[in-house]
Amino acid sequence: MSNHRPAQPNTHYDVIIIGAGASGLYCALTAGRRGRRVLVLDHANKAGKKILMSGGGRCNFTNYFVEPEHFIGTNPHFCKSALSRYPSWEFIGLVEAHKIPYHEREHGQLFCDDSAQDILQMLLDECTAAGVQVRLSTQIESVRTLDNDKNARFELVTTKQLSKKEKQARKEANNQTKLPQTNYCCDSLVVATGGLSIPTMGASGLGYELAQQFGHTLIATDASLVPFTFTDKTGELIRALAGISLPVIASNERISFKLPLLFTHRGLSGPSMLQLSNYWYSGEAIEINLLPETDIIELLLTHKKTHPKQLIRTVLSESTHNALPKKLLTTLQTMLWEDVKDTELANIKDERLIEIGSTINSWQLKPSGTEGYRTAEVTRGGIKTDDVSSKTMESKCQDGLYFIGEVLDVTGWLGGYNFQWAWASGFVCGEVV
Ligand SMILES: Cc1cc2nc3c(=O)[nH]c(=O)nc-3n(C[C@H](O)[C@H](O)[C@H](O)COP(=O)(O)OP(=O)(O)OC[C@H]3O[C@@H](n4cnc5c(N)ncnc54)[C@H](O)[C@@H]3O)c2cc1C
């Protein structure tokens, strides 16, 4: 298409995408395949850093079962159109076409057999084949609209993003000269800068700043898919159990997840906690059922009648469906029934057994917080979706401006859903820019 247009200076593009991450690269290759002249700019020195670190290095790139219910956001309907137009089998098809070996894990999650690098390389190869240019280590200084220009709608002023070493060298040489600027123009500008998690991987708030510059509203952001932290006695207790993992039901008033829990030196982690963190707000309590397959109250009261001489710990270690790890049982004993630890069931009041049973089946905990953006997999909140077209991702405040991926107020569950959102939103945008 661009071949039929009058020649433009080489800093003019049909489409400029800020962010060479998951959504940005997918949008680029989609638009490039349509013959659009596409430039991707990123301040990082490498494209797709989060892809590389995802899924423990194996990239959980999508899920067999993608439903709008797997996403949260102020407008839960916003994600539906893109997800239905770009289902997960489209991405799986691309992975298979590139002969990337992959496997399914529980709950339909798809991972690379070898390395997340395979997914990144696939995206970069597709971009190259579609004629997309990717320019890294580029700092975006400013973005403005060109009101009187017939050929372009936006102008971007950029400089070279200096490495730490280069910055230090300039400082030592007391070099205060301005860095040379490169200006780019484009008709469509796509903001694909992602969220705030893992700042060391290139995360920045530029996408939110640009959205505000063009009149968009932001939904408060927070670290999500992130472990919980605890202070005081609970924190001590949890730390003492570091390394223990068990299947639990973790819930709050909004949602419930039956998944593994992991005690760590910093707090509570594992899939159940990460999932719950998407639905948790500061100051709220969470509930953990440590033995979801067993009604402990019923178990203890029945054993009091049938085996009155047994101790609580014996019942819990021998009669439960999935016995509690020994160390956890000992800790629970110290916490809940230290005074009656050597007392036979017959001599423990029913009310006490009910209290103990109810704590094990619904342990109420109040996290002091989360590990924050430092370790969070995603950012909850972001650009309010009411002001963005759900069909094209175009801004309703500024023609030609688009937002895709995690920068929007769309947050997926753990399990490949965040990448599926990145591919789907990148695709529908790449089809129209
Ligand atoms: C440790 C970890 C593991 C994860 N594992 C999974 C997983 O297995 N499955 C899954 O579905 N999701 C996973 N995620 C989430 C997933 O990585 C993100 O949701 C997804 O990458 C979002 O895509 P995006 O394109 O919106 O943003 P990103 O992929 O984060 O890309 C944003 C890009 O914008 C660039 N950028 C930011 N600011 C600027 C700026 N000022 N100037 C220029 N460029 C800028 C960044 O350098 C980056 O390249 C994981 C996340 C983390 C942190």
Residues 42-79 have pLDDT tens digits of 999 999 999 999 999 999 999 999 999 999 999 999 99
- Give yes or no for residue 161 CB within 6 A of ligand 1: no
Evaluate whether 192 touches 373 at the Cβ level (below 8 Å): no
Angle between helices 22-33 and 417-430 (to 10 degrees): 30
Distance between Cα 146 and ligand 1 center (Å): 30
Evaluate whether 420 touches 91 at the Cβ level (below 8 Å): yes
Cβ burial 397-422 (10 Å sphere, 16+ → b, else e):
ebebbbbbbbbbbbbbbbbbbbbbbb
pLDDT tens-digit profile, the chain (433 residues): 444 444 445 689 999 999 999 999 999 999 999 999 999 999 999 999 999 999 999 999 999 999 999 999 999 999 999 999 999 999 999 999 999 999 999 999 999 999 999 999 999 999 999 999 999 999 999 999 998 878 789 999 999 988 888 888 888 888 888 888 999 999 999 999 999 999 888 899 999 999 999 999 999 999 999 999 999 888 998 999 999 999 999 999 999 999 999 999 999 999 999 999 999 999 999 999 999 999 999 999 999 999 999 999 999 988 666 678 899 999 999 989 999 999 999 999 999 999 999 999 999 999 999 999 999 999 999 999 999 999 999 999 999 999 999 999 999 999 999 999 999 999 999 999 9
The structure tokens listed for 171 are: 């400082």
Distance between Cα 288 and ligand 1 center (Å): 30
Distance between Cα 41 and ligand 1 center (Å): 14
Residues 118-142 have pLDDT tens digits of 999 999 999 999 999 999 999 999 9
Instruction: Identify the pLDDT of residue 168.
Output: 87
- Among 42, 43, 50, 411, the mutation site with the greatest number of ligand 1 atoms within 8 A of its Cβ is 50
Is 174 buried (19+), middle (13-18) or exposed (0-12) by CB count in 10 A?
exposed
Q: Which atom of ligand 1 is nearest to the CA of 51?
A: 17
- Give yes or no for residue 422 CB within 6 A of ligand 1: yes
Q: Which residue has the CA at smallest separation from atom 10 of ligand 1?
A: 416
Token pair 């016995």: residue: 323
- Long-range contacts from 1-7, C-beta under 8 angstroms, 24+ separation: 1/34, 1/35, 1/36, 2/35, 2/36, 2/37, 3/35
- Give yes or no for residue 88 CB within 6 A of ligand 1: no
Residues making up the chain, counted from first to last? 433
Identify residue 158 by its one-letter amino acid code: T
To the nearest 10°, report the CA torsion of 21, 409, 158, 152.
100
Tell me the whole-structure pTM to 2 decimals: 0.94
Q: Which residue has the CA at smallest separation from atom 53 of ligand 1?
A: 377
